[in-house]
Structure 1
Amino acid sequence: MVFCDTTPLIALASIDRLDLLHQVLGDIAVAQAVAEECAQGGPISVPALRSLAWMTVYPDLPSDDAMILDLDRGEKQTILLARHHGGDLVVIDERRARGLAEYLGLRVTGTLGILARAKASGLIPSFREAAVAMHDQGIYYSRGLIERLAERLGEIVAN
């Protein structure tokens, strides 16, 4: 079971490729907190998660775990639910939350990992172009990381 946090959903929706999540990872689970964060709206519109046949929304769990208290609600619930349901993978971008999820024994990937898998599978023509398009929508990732991943995927920069 794959659990996804809010930021990857917003990032992929920013380039109208939320479908990549499903195409790369199959069915996706999210916490109620994540569904609510996406529904609040903002500059980037995310479709109603409950309307997606491949998305399941799980009720939030109570928590008093001191290790995750300083995470935002969506990150906290994503990690809690993945641990509770024996999640195979967590899709989360925020560095602190990723580190904690890994510390707790969860496998982690992020939005750029989804794009890399999509490129490797031939689902998108260019990892770099997709990452830059997200940046143009206000989604920021390390430019150095984008370039390193693009090079690993065989995308050469024209000089």
Structure 2
Amino acid sequence: MIVFSNTTPILALSSIQRLQLLPKLFGKIHLVTEVIDECSVGGPIAVPALHGFDWIKPVQSMPIQQTSVLLELDKGEKHTLDMASKYKADWVIIDEKIGRNMAEYLGLRVTGTLGILLKAKQQGLISSFTDCVKAMQAQGIYYQATLITKLAKTVGEG
């Protein structure tokens, strides 16, 4: 399975020390070098050195072919979607609405951090979807409240 992730899901899962959910759910995760660079810059959320994980496959970006379609996206999103499209990825993990819309427009299957947490809850890898979301919110990561409530109900919470 080929799975690409953008920066925000890496940051969000790192904020609650749940980055290891990614290899448990998907095996290897492809990250374009722009995403690895964005994660290594530092900030309020500490992200471990991504080159140190054997389940992360760094991908060197190539010049973007579909620049007009991807114009509104940031550097990491542009290269993630471009390379995911070139690799014919099975999944793209991305949270930002515009990025998700572009991924779907390109014919890519999309999930996000909340989707990862739902899948982890369903597989018994975490005890509570809601507790993980609340922990992310305590770190300054926010998602739409109505979406959180709706998703929590799908796993019997709330």
TM-score bracket for this pair, using the shorter chain length: over 0.9
Residue 68 of structure 1 corresponds to which residue in structure 2?
70
2:77 counterpart SS class:
helix
Counterparts of 1:21 and 1:93 in 2: how far apart (Å)?
Answer: 15
* Partner AA of 2:124 in structure 1: G
Residue 45 of structure 1 corresponds to which residue in structure 2?
46
Deviation of 1:44 after TM superposition, in Å, equals 0.3
Question: TM-score, normalising length from structure 1?
Answer: 0.96
Counterparts of 1:93 and 1:145 in 2: how far apart (Å)?
Answer: 13
Aligned residues: 156
Counterparts of 1:134 and 1:78 in 2: how far apart (Å)?
Answer: 23
Counterparts of 1:111 and 1:73 in 2: how far apart (Å)?
Answer: 20
Q: RMSD of aligned C-alpha atoms?
A: 0.8
Residue 95 of structure 1 corresponds to which residue in structure 2?
97
Q: How does 1:116-131 map to 2 (within 5 A)?
A: 116-131=118-133
Deviation of 1:50 after TM superposition, in Å, equals 1.0
Counterparts of 2:71 and 2:32 in 1: how far apart (Å)?
Answer: 16
Counterparts of 1:26 and 1:132 in 2: how far apart (Å)?
Answer: 26
Runs of 4+ in 1 over 3 A off after TM superposition: none
Percent identity of paired positions between Structure 1 and Structure 2: 49
Residue 147 of structure 1 corresponds to which residue in structure 2?
149
1:150 counterpart SS class:
helix
1:117 counterpart SS class:
helix
Counterparts of 1:48 and 1:70 in 2: how far apart (Å)?
Answer: 28
- Deviating more after overlay: 73-82 vs 61-70: 61-70
Partner deviation per Cα, 1:31-52 (whole Å, 9 max, x = no partner): 0000000000100011111110
2:85 counterpart SS class:
helix
* Partner AA of 2:96 in structure 1: E
Which segments of 5 or more consecutive residues in structure 1 lack a partner in the other structure? Answer: none
Partner deviation per Cα, 1:92-148 (whole Å, 9 max, x = no partner): 000001001001100000000000000000000000000110011001111111111
Counterparts of 2:141 and 2:46 in 1: how far apart (Å)?
Answer: 13
Deviation of 1:25 after TM superposition, in Å, equals 1.4
Question: TM-score, normalising length from structure 2?
Answer: 0.96
Which segments of 5 or more consecutive residues in structure 2 lack a partner in the other structure? Answer: none
1:46 counterpart SS class:
coil
